[in-house]
Amino acid sequence: MTSTVFRIGSTNLCRRWLVAFVAFIACIAISATAADLPGDSVYHLDVPLVDQNGNGSHLADRRGKPQLVSMFYTSCKFVCPLIIDSVLLTERSLDSAERQRLEVLFVSFDPERDTPTQLKGVFDQRKLDARRWTLARTEAPNVRKIASALDIRYRALADGEINHATALVFLDADGRIVARTNTLGAVDPDFVAAIRTSLSAHAARLEPTSVQRQ
């Protein structure tokens, strides 16, 4: 009887040690991943996002693929639709292969009103590409963090409108700002050229070496 009790206690103790060890290894892996990021990466921000379908993720989950990022809010009647138009125009300046390597993220300035349902309404109305586009919300303190990292200034007004800067920001796969433009309603050729150069470099890094091909 004593022997049986000892074995049960030992088993429970081993399980606790195993859980603690796994948690320790996970912490090391997370720390290593964060340390592996460039110092100027926006993915150092610990920001949860909820997209137009109600799916949750973190900003840093977008690492690994170049991103065209901007900020908006759905009740904006003039400037924000023009921001979306400008991204669509920028995309059309890329060839099909380039577009497939580019993801688009819009983060709302207005988390109180921009629910996933509200975001989904704009997403569907504009017929955005669900394979690459994400409209997202996060809580107000995190909106401030993202806007600061992207250098997009904004201010909520008493009438519910939001006075904000307009910018399209291109991030490389590691979350570094490669290029930005404030041009709306037209294509900025320098911005497109920077995107193309970065996408090409990213694709080249992903290609298998000649040894791997063999």
Buried residues in 148-179 as b, exposed as e (16+ CB within 10 A): ebbebeeeeeeeeebebebbbbbbbbbbbbbb
- From CA 211, how far away is CA 214, in angstroms rounded? 5
pLDDT at 62 over 90: yes
Residue-level pLDDT at 28: 39
Half-sphere exposure of 213 (CA within 13 A, CB side): 5
Give 177-194 pLDDT, tens digit per residue: 999 999 999 999 999 999
The more confident residue out of 25 and 144 is 144
Residue 213: count other Cβ atoms within 10 Å of its Cβ: 7
Secondary structure string (H, E, C) spanning the chain: CHHHHHHHHHHHHHHHHHHHHHHHHHHHHHHHHHHHCCCCCHHHCCCEEEECCCCEEEHHHHCCCCEEEEEECCCCCCHHHHHHHHHHHHHHCCCHHHHHCCEEEEEECCCCCCCHHHHHHHHHHCCCCCCCEEEEECCHHHHHHHHHHHCCCEEECCCCCEEECCCEEEECCCCCEEEEECCCCCCCHHHHHHHHHHHHHHHHHHCCCHHHHC
- Whether residue 165 contacts residue 134, with contact meaning beta carbons closer than 8 Å, is answered with no
Q: Give the model confidence (pLDDT) of 40-50 as tens digits.
A: 999 999 999 99
Going by C-alpha positions, the residue among 140, 186, 151, 162 that lies closest to residue 80 is: 162
Q: Name residue, tokens 């070496």.
A: 209
The predicted structure's pLDDT at residue 34? 53
* Residue 164: both structure tokens together: 């904000």
How much is the pLDDT for 183?
A: 97
Place of tokens 């309603």: 185
Which numeric CATH code is attached to 42-206?
3.40.30.10
Instruction: Tell me the mean pLDDT in the region 141-158.
Output: 97
